[in-house]
Amino acid sequence: MKRIVIAGILGGLTLFLWLYLAHDVLGLGEIGIKELPNETPVLNAMQGAIPAPGFYFFPGTGLGPNATAAERSAAMPELTKKYEQVPHGIIIYHPPAGPFRFGAALGKQFALNVVQALLFALLLSRAGGLASYAARVGFVFVAGVLAGLSTNVEYWNWYDFPANYTAGYMTTQIIGFLLAGFVIAAFVKKQPAEAHH
């Protein structure tokens, strides 16, 4: 267990440092992100029209949050037609909220990366037949590919996230999990058979 915890902390630190490099130095995690043209009038319009923070999908059905499955199903042909004729997308909206707490966000990111690495280390410790270092790194790498695919491709498919953003972010994550795998695999090793008795 001690090795798993050390692997989680050091693997999480490795992942955290790589994500800093990928975002702030290499720009991999920022590919495909653009600033709004004519930002001021757009922001003024949003502030006047959107009453509360939230995750908004447009165009909508106009049915409201308590619509039944039957009502949503009946509205789909009209929504599909509308979707084809007007702009569509998603907005994650927050009204003005005061200072951005960068340090707190960094702390949460580091905690997330440590949890991710701990989970990878725990999975690796339970995997059988991975005696070699390369096999253990490969296990973490494949698990990282799975993690990178899971959400990113769904967002590209259903919400039209840009393909270059999706590819850049997946690349960032997969390389990060590979680098963390090098660290995790050095600490989480196959236990001798007698240790299991």
Neighbours of 163 (CB within 10 A): 11
Note whether 46 and 28 are within 8 A (CB).
no
- 57 membership: H or E segment, kind and range: strand 54-58
Interaxial angle between packed helices 102-126 and 163-187, expressed in degrees from 0 to 180 and rounded to the nearest 10: 60
Tens place of pLDDT for every residue, the chain, 197 residues? 899 999 999 999 999 999 999 999 999 988 999 999 999 999 999 999 998 999 998 898 888 888 898 988 899 988 889 889 999 999 999 998 888 899 999 999 999 999 999 999 999 999 888 889 999 999 999 999 999 998 899 999 998 999 999 999 999 999 999 999 999 999 998 654 434 44
Strand partners, 90: 57
Residue type, 1: M
* pTM, full prediction: 0.82
**In which residue are the tokens 């949003």 written?**
46
Task: Please tell me the distance from the alpha carbon of residue 172 to that of residue 81, in angstroms, as a whole number.
Answer: 37
Write down the domain spans for the chain.
Answer: 2-48+101-192, 54-93
Residues, the chain: 197
Interaxial angle between packed helices 133-159 and 102-126, expressed in degrees from 0 to 180 and rounded to the nearest 10: 130
Cis check: omega of the bond before 192, within 30 degrees of 0? no
Note whether 110 and 103 are within 8 A (CB).
no
**In which residue are the tokens 């090793």 written?**
189
Task: Please tell me the distance from the alpha carbon of residue 181 to that of residue 130, in angstroms, as a whole number.
Answer: 13
